[in-house]
């Protein structure tokens, strides 16, 4: 075929030669010889003269591996003039493959070199394609070789193969290299892959590079350090592999490289720095406009490593321009060592010529500032770069001063504290070293800076001014004091808070430099502008207090509080107080005094009041005591209502807005505010109401800070204080109640103290006080004002009375509920069922006081409920099942129910009750008979008029056992009493006339209790008859009967008779008793001689009222005219003695308060 079809053979050689190359090493001699002969024939097909000349050597190396090195050496030393054809490649590639697989690094490097050259010598890149499958795997391994030279050569070989690859081979290779760049293997492997990928991308079309660039830049910030290192290695290799094709991508790549300079891993930072140097070395001259922006930005980066590396890179750039190595100035020198640099006359000029003066000035300004960097490495590097290009520091600074000042001001206005510190230090250093040589230029620049539109830049100007002032001598400041002062004044009135804050720092620096004069120069000017709200002078003063409150505040207070205080000055006090801090505390009385006066008679009281509220909220913790005591003192000031109202308003503002601790003063605050509820002036009442509500709100909010569902209990701690004040107010109040309680919702801020103590009081005494206090509130409040609070008060009382508490607590609760019923009336309707149950249960309490008040409650409640039968049934059941005192209480309640609501009770229930009462009227116990009779009488008094006489007759018909007679007599008395009370004297009088004979018969009863009860009957009957005007007949008979009872042999009967006489005397007018007194006076007078002290005492009181001795002797003398002389004299003498001693018309003993109506 070599002779007959050489062309066809040449196309098959990539397949044939590898097979024959293996055959030459066959164990069979003839096979080896045949293979060698065939290869020799194949060599004849080669057209390239250079390959043809060395073909025997190549063929020999295929049969003898020891000759591979010689063959590779020959190929390398051969100078190719003609293009390498496909048959030549077929003969060369097996040799190269063997070389790439050899253990010798030298051989592998030579083989890789041949691959790279071979691809450049072929006329058609496609001729190499058949060998890709063999070469690529070997080269992939070669770029991971431990030898750096081998990795470099293999990477270049890979790059040269790109032109011969199809898309699939390229994509597979690219994917492999990208994956290896982020592998967890050694840095050598990642570096080799990065080098290979760089060469591949350099040889590939630019579109291929664009396709992977975003991924590469993204992986440079991968969270895994080895991934970042691998991709930064790739970036470091790109400048050499891509050269000018990379220029347009520098703005995208260089910032990423600079970002890597601050990486936390040293290995990543080293690779990133290498990449940065590579960029600068390669493109500093050809692509300067693309390289510098990223470096310049890096000079101001937050990370010191980026700043340091950026300075290094900038030094490299400037070194290329000036031709001077910036690193030659090293050693132990610092920024303070020399004023003169190492640059020559042309260095700055060259830089300006290449970069332009504006950019040069910006870069030099940045380098000068970084000489003051907080990080030593940045500081030293900047110092070296500065010295390498600057010859005269003063001259250079004057040249770049405007740009430098702009740079420093911009950095001073940065949010970064570190950047501010660096810029401030740089400015201070400049002023400190050069002094007056630059001050004449620096001050005007700063003044112009205040006119900038950018707020941050104006703030930077102020910070710069503070550094200038801080680093100037007193003499230097005096030369420019007017300019400095005017600048600070303007800045303190700037519309922006940040600028004012920075100007305050400048003021502080000025104060440190010149002392009190700084205040005298600036503060008065600001005070003059307070009237103009648009001047921001007030905000400026606040900033001064922030930095120098201890010095400035004593200067301000006398001016701002001078009487008469204006709204503008008050507003200033309010604003300044929030920043005055602990310096405010000792001046609280002065300030509050002035503001309080202004709230009364200032030019704008409301504005002054708002300012005063700000002051009290600004008081620090150590000033709370002084402030609260001052306000409490003013609460007690009775000179003007306005003073009390203003103090209460300020206390309200304090309670609403403060987060400070004032627990120790709460009792006094509560006492003072509750006391104001008794004031007559509406402004005082309104302010007190608001203040107390705010105090309650503060206490409740404090409790719920940690747990929103926590019960409110803190107000209850002060229940004793509130109770005492409420009692005092009730005592001093007019008939309509306490004025503060009678306001709309006037009780709202008072109730929490009682309700919380009632529900959560720590001791029974506390709960008792709470219940008592609620009762006091009910009594001291009008019905209209009480109406909205009835529900709020009644619910807790009803809930708590069911718990196990001492009787004192329950007695206080029942009393308060009774008062609510009496005053609340229809407003209590929703609670009537619960109240009925509560009162009925309370009848079983052991305490007599609780039972008595429950009876009163039922008596009040029974007139309001619509269904009385259930109540009566409950009472009947209680009477049947209860013991002693509890039974009496149930009977008393039944009496009240029958008397007040008897007509509303159904007949069967009434019959049941009467049957029970009739049975009880015969019981052995006197108390039971008496109470049963009272209840029976209350019922009987409700019968129609025509049945009254029959009812009375019924009670006098039975003459059985004496206990029954006694019970019926008591019932008779009760019926007459209730009839008289109900105004039914006519039917009562008719019935009394009808039973007179039976009454006379009872007077002879052998039982003392019966006669004693009869005395009470006579007394009530006389009331009825005298009320009807009946002074003869029945009335006289009753007087005679009563006189007989007063003269009875039993002391008990005498006493009851005297009590009845006194009751008639007090209850009926003298005109209706005319001519009747003489009937009984002698009997009463005789009772004065009894041995029994109670009888004598009763007789003495009876005489006082019977003869009206408290009015003189007139009635006595008139009555005595009809008496015998001896009796007349005795009675007259006795009465005269009583008159002379002095008589009390209201004299009552402890047991006869009802004047015989029992």
* DSSP sequence for 310-354: HHHHHHHHHHHHH---GGGS-SS--TTS-SB-S--TTHHHHHHHH
> What confidence tens digit (pLDDT) does each residue in 1004-1037 have?
888 888 888 888 989 888 888 888 876 577 888 8
User: What is the spatial distance between Cα 423 and Cα 15, in angstroms, rounded to a whole number?
Assistant: 73
To 5 degrees, how large is the angle CA 632–CA 638–CA 639?
120
The enclosing H or E element of 798 equals helix 790-801
pLDDT at 727: 92
Cα of first residue to Cα of last residue in the chain, in angstroms, is 157
pLDDT computed for residue 340 by the predictor: 54
Rounded CA-CA distance 367/313 in Å is: 12
What span, in angstroms and rounded, lies between the C-alpha atoms of 549 and 956? 99
- 113-157 pLDDT, tens digit each: 887 777 777 766 677 777 777 778 888 888 888 888 888 888 888
What sections of 204-303 are H helices per DSSP? 206-219, 225-242, 250-260, 266-283, 288-298
Tokens of 908: 């069967």
For residue 411, with 0-12 CB atoms within 10 Å meaning exposed, 13-18 middle and 19 or more buried, which class applies? buried
For 308, the token pair is 């340091």
Backbone angles phi, psi at 639, to 5 degrees: -70, -45
Cβ(536)–Cβ(493) below 8 Å: yes
Tokens, residue 1028:
């009807």
- For the chain, which ranges sit under pLDDT 50? 1-5, 330-339, 1148-1158
Query: Bridge-partner residues for 340, per DSSP?
Result: 392
DSSP state of 906: -
Confirm if 494 and 460 have CB atoms less than 8 A apart: no
CA distances from 643 to 139, 656, 669, 1133 (A): 98, 20, 16, 65
Q: Is 725 exposed, middle or buried (0-12, 13-18, 19+ CB in 10 A)?
A: buried
d(CA 886, CA 893): 11
Instruction: Return d(Cα 740, Cα 679) in angstroms, integer.
Output: 7
What percentage of the chain reaches a pLDDT higher than 90? 10
Tokens representing 1158 are 């029992």
Q: Provide CB contacts within 8 A for 586, sequence distance 6+.
A: 623, 626
Distance CA 244, CA 773 (A): 96
The HSE-up count of residue 499 (CA atoms within 13 Å, CB side) is 24
Distance CA 359, CA 979 (A): 119
DSSP state of 78: P
> Is residue 775 within 8 Å of residue 768, measured between CB atoms?
no
Residue among 984, 983, 958 at smallest CA distance from 971 = 958
Per DSSP, helices labelled H in 843-995 are 848-861, 869-881, 884-901, 907-920, 926-940, 945-954, 962-981, 985-994
Distance CA 648, CA 637 (A): 12
Query: Chain-centre distance of CA 871, in angstroms?
Result: 53
Angle (deg, nearest 10), helices 962-981 and 1008-1027 = 20
Range 336-341 contact pairs with CB under 8 angstroms and sequence separation of 24 or more: 338/387, 339/392, 339/393, 339/394, 339/433, 340/391, 340/392, 340/393, 341/386, 341/387, 341/388, 341/389, 341/390, 341/391, 341/392, 341/393, 341/396
Q: What is the CA radius of gyration of the chain?
A: 59
Residues shown for the chain: 1158
- Smallest CA-to-CA distance from 834 within 857, 809, 805 is with 857
CB neighbour list of residue 301: distance below 8 Å, 6 or more residues apart: 258, 262, 307, 310
Can you give the pTM of this predicted structure?
Answer: 0.61
C-alpha–C-alpha distance, residues 538 and 102, integer Å: 87
**Measured distance CA(666)–CA(626) in Å, rounded:** 14
Cβ contact 935:898 at 8 Å: yes
Half-sphere exposure of 189 (CA within 13 A, CB side): 14
pLDDT of residue 206: 87
Phi, psi for residue 606 in degrees, rounded to 5: -65, -45
C-alpha distance from residue 364 to each of 315, 382, 395, 402 (Å): 11, 10, 13, 12
């Amino acid at each position: 075929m070599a002779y007959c079809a050489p062309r066809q053979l040449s196309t098959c050689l990539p397949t044939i030669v590898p097979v024959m190359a293996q055959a030459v090493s066959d164990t069979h001699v003839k096979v080896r010889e045949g293979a060698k002969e065939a290869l020799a024939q194949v060599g004849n097909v080669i057209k390239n003269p250079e390959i043809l000349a060395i073909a025997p050597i190549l063929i020999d190396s295929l049969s003898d591996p020891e000759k591979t090195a010689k063959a590779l050496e020959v190929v390398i030393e051969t100078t190719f003039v003609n293009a390498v054809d496909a048959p030549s490649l077929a003969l060369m590639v097996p040799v190269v493959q063997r070389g790439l697989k050899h253990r010798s690094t030298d051989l592998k490097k030579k083989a890789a070199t041949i691959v790279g050259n071979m691809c450049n010598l072929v006329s058609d890149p496609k001729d190499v394609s058949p060998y890709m499958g063999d070469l690529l795997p070997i080269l992939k391994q070669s770029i991971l070789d431990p030898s750096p030279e081998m990795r470099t050569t293999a990477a270049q070989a890979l790059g040269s193969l790109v032109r011969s690859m199809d898309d699939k081979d390229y994509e597979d290779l690219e994917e492999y290299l990208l994956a290896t760049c982020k592998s967890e293997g050694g840095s050598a492997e990642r570096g080799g892959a990065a080098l290979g990928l760089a060469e591949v991308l350099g040889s590939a079309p630019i579109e291929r590079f664009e396709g992977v660039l975003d991924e590469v830049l993204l992986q440079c910030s991968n969270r895994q350090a080895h991934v970042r290192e691998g991709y930064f290695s790739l970036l470091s290799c790109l400048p050499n592999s891509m050269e000018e094709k990379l220029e347009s991508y520098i703005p995208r790549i260089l910032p990423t490289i600079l970002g890597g300079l601050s990486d936390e891993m040293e290995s990543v930072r080293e690779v990133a720095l290498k990449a940065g140097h590579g960029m600068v070395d390669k493109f500093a001259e050809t692509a300067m406009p693309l390289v510098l922006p990223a470096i310049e930005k890096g000079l101001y980066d937050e990370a010191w490593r980026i700043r340091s590396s950026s300075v290094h890179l900038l030094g490299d750039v400037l070194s290329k321009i000036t031709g001077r190595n910036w690193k030659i100035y090293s050693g132990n020198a610092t920024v303070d060592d020399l004023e003169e640099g190492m640059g020559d006359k042309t260095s700055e000029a060259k830089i300006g010529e290449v970069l332009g003066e504006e950019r040069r000035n910006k870069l030099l300004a940045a380098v000068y500032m970084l000489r003051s960097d907080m990080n030593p490495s940045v500081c030293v590097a900047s110092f070296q770069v500065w010295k390498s290009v600057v010859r005269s520091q003063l001259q250079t600074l004057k040249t770049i001063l405007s740009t430098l000042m702009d740079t420093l001001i911009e950095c001073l206005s940065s949010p970064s504290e570190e950047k501010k510190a660096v810029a401030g230090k740089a400015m201070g250093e400049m002023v400190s070293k050069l002094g007056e040589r630059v001050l004449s230029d620096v001050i005007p620049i700063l003044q112009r800076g205040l006119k900038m539109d950018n707020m941050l830049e104006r703030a930077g100007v102020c910070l710069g001014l503070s550094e200038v002032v801080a680093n100037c001598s007193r003499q230097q400041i005096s030369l420019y004091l007017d300019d400095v002062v005017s600048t600070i004044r303007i800045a303190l009135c700037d519309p922006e808070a940040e600028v004012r804050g920075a100007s305050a720092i400048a003021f502080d620096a000025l104060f440190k430099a010149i002392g009190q004069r700084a205040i005298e120069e600036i503060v008065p000017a600001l005070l003059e502008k307070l009237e103009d709200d648009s001047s921001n002078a007030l905000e400026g003063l606040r900033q001064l207090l922030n930095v120098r409150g201890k010095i400035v505040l004593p200067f301000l207070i006398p001016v701002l509080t001078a009487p008469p205080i204006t709204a503008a000055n008050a507003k200033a006090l309010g604003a300044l107080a929030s920043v005055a801090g602990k310096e405010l505390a000792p001046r609280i009385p002065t300030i509050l005094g002035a503001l309080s006066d202004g709230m009364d008679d200032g030019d704008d009281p409301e504005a002054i009041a708002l300012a005063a509220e700000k002051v009290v909220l600004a008081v620090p913790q150590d000033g709370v005591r002084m402030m609260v005591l001052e306000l409490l003192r003013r609460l007690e000031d009775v000179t003007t209502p306005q003073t009390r109202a203003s103090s209460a308003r300020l206390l309200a503002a304090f309670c609403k807005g403060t987060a400070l601790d004032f627990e120790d003063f709460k009792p006094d605050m509560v006492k003072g505010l509750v006391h104001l509820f008794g004031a007559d002036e509406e402004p005082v009442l309104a302010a007190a109401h608001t203040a107390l509500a705010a105090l309650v709100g503060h206490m409740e909010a404090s409790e719920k800070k940690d747990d929103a569902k926590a019960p409110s209990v803190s107000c209850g701690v002060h229940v004793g204080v509130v109770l005492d004040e409420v009692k005092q107010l009730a005592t001093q109040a007019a008939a309509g109640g306490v004025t503060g309680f009678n306001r709309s919702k006037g009780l709202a801020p008072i109730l929490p103290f009682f309700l919380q103590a009632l529900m959560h009081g720590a001791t029974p005494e506390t709960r008792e006080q709470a219940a008592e206090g609620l009762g006091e509130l009910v009594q001291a409040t009008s019905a209209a004002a009480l109406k909205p609070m009835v529900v709020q008060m009644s619910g807790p009382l009803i809930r708590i009375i069911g718990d196990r508490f001492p009787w004192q607590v329950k007695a206080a609760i029942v009393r308060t509920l009774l008062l609510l019923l009496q005053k609340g009336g229809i407003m209590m309707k929703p609670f009537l069922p619960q109240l009925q149950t509560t009162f009925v249960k309370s009848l079983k309490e052991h305490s007599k006081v609780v039972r008595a008040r429950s009876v009163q409650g039922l008596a009040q409640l029974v007139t309001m409920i619509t269904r009385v039968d259930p109540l009566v049934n409950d009472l009947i059941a209680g009477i049947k099942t209860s013991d002693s005192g509890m039974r009496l209480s149930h009977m008393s309640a039944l009496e009240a129910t029958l008397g007040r609501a008897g007509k509303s009770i159904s007949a069967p229930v009434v019959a049941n009750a009467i049957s029970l009462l009739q049975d009880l009227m015969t019981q052995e116990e006197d108390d039971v008979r008496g109470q049963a009779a009272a209840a029976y009488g209350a019922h009987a008094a409700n019968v129609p008029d025509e049945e009254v006489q029959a009812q009375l007759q019924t009670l006098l018909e039975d003459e059985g056992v004496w206990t029954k007679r006694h019970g019926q007599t008591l019932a008779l008395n009760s019926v007459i009493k209730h009839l008289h009370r109900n105004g039914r004297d006519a039917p009562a009088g008719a019935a009394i006339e009808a039973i007179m004979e039976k009454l006379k018969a009872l007077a002879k009863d052998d039982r003392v209790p019966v006669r004693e009860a009869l005395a009470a009957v006579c007394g009530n009957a006389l009331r009825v008859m005298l009320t009807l005007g009946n002074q003869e007949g029945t009335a006289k008979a009753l007087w005679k009967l009563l006189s007989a009872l007063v003269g009875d042999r039993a002391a008990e009967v005498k006493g009851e008779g005297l009590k009845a006489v006194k009751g008639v005397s007090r209850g009926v007018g003298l005109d209706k008793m005319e001519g009747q007194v003489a009937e009984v006076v002698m009997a009463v007078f005789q009772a004065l001689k009894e041995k029994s002290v109670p009888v004598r005492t009763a007789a003495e009181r009876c005489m006082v009222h019977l003869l009206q001795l408290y009015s003189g002797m007139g009635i006595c003398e008139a009555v005595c005219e009809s008496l015998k002389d001896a009796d007349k004299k005795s009675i007259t003498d006795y009465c005269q003695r009583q008159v002379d001693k002095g008589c009390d018309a209201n004299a009552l003993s402890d047991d006869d308060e009802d004047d015989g109506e029992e």
